[in-house]
Amino acid sequence: MIRRFLHNPLAQALLILVVSAALGALVNAARPKPVPWDSKPAFDILPHLPLAESLEAFDAGDCLFIDARPVEFFQQGHILNAISVPLTAPEAEVLDAVQKDHPYRRLIIYCEDENCDAADAMARRMKRMGYANLFVLEGGWLAWSKANLPAQ
C-alpha cells in the first residue's frame, strides 16, 4: 500500500515537502545562531539616514560618503568628496580606502537608489570587517542628485 502511495507524484511531492520541512527545522534549531521564526531579521539591518540628516552631516564635515556602486557609475557623478569603494572591491582595497581609525563620526554608504542592495550589503560587509558608525543614505545617489545637493 505504501509502495502504491509512493507511485503517485503528488504523494511523492508531499513526502519531499514534509522531509524538507523537518530537516530545515531540525538543522535550524541546531545552528549556533538560528534563523528566527518570527519577524526578527536573521541579519544585521544597519540604520538608514534620511536625506536631510545626511546633508546636515555633509555640512558639518564630520562624515565620509562611500560610493558602493561600480566605478563607472562613480565616474559619471557622485556626492562631493565621496570616495569610490565598490561592493565588489577586495578586502585589502576597502581597508586601504577607509582606515579603521578614521577621524569621521559617520561613514555614510550609498548606491544608485532605493532599488539597489549594494549600500546595505557594503555596510554589512564593513561591519563584519570591524568598522563602526555605518549608515546607509536613504534614496542613494538618485535622491541626492535630484535634490541638487553638492556633487561632482
Name the residues that contact another protein, by CB under 8 A.
6-7, 9-17, 19-21, 23-25, 27-28, 31, 33, 35-43, 87-89, 111-112, 115-118, 120-122, 124-125
- Shortest CB 56 distance to another protein, Å: 28
Amino acid at 40: K
Q: Which residue, 59 or 117, is less far from another protein as judged by CB?
A: 117
- Shortest CB 41 distance to another protein, Å: 6
Q: DSSP readout, 33-68?
A: SPPPSSSS-SS--PPEE-HHHHHHHHHHT-EEEEE-
- Shortest CB 51 distance to another protein, Å: 20
Q: Which residue, 39 or 152, is less far from another protein as judged by CB?
A: 39
- Shortest CB 62 distance to another protein, Å: 28
Q: Which residue, 36 or 47, is less far from another protein as judged by CB?
A: 36
Helix (H), strand (E) at residue 4: helix 2-6
Q: Which residue, 38 or 101, is less far from another protein as judged by CB?
A: 38
110 and 119 Cβ atoms separated by less than 8 Å: yes
Residues 6+ apart with CB under 8 A from 86: 67, 68, 69, 70, 71, 74, 118
Phi, psi at 101, each rounded to 5°: -100, 45
